[in-house]
Amino acid sequence: VGELQAALGDAERQRELQEAEDRALRQELKDVRDGQRILEKKGSAALKDLKRQLQLERRRADRLQERLQELLAPTRARSG
């Protein structure tokens, strides 16, 4: 009986250790998933910001091109 009680005690301790390890692994998985979600949001926000900056730069380039055409137009008229 004593040996069975000792074996039962050992089995219970093993089960408790496995449950603790399971909880730790589940928490780690949750933390990784949360971190991944945060990184995805940051990446999405960065991409959105870069697209906005690109659009602004395109508009700026268009305005500069128009201005250059305006400046070159009188020169063409005089030389033509």
Instruction: Report pLDDT for 73.
Output: 87
Instruction: Report pLDDT for 79.
Output: 60
* 74 pLDDT tier (thresholds 50, 70, 90): confident
Q: pLDDT tens digits for 10-62?
A: 999 999 999 999 999 999 999 999 999 999 999 999 999 999 999 999 999 99
Higher per-residue pLDDT: 4 or 79: 4
CA distance 45 to 65: 30
- 37, amino acid identity: R
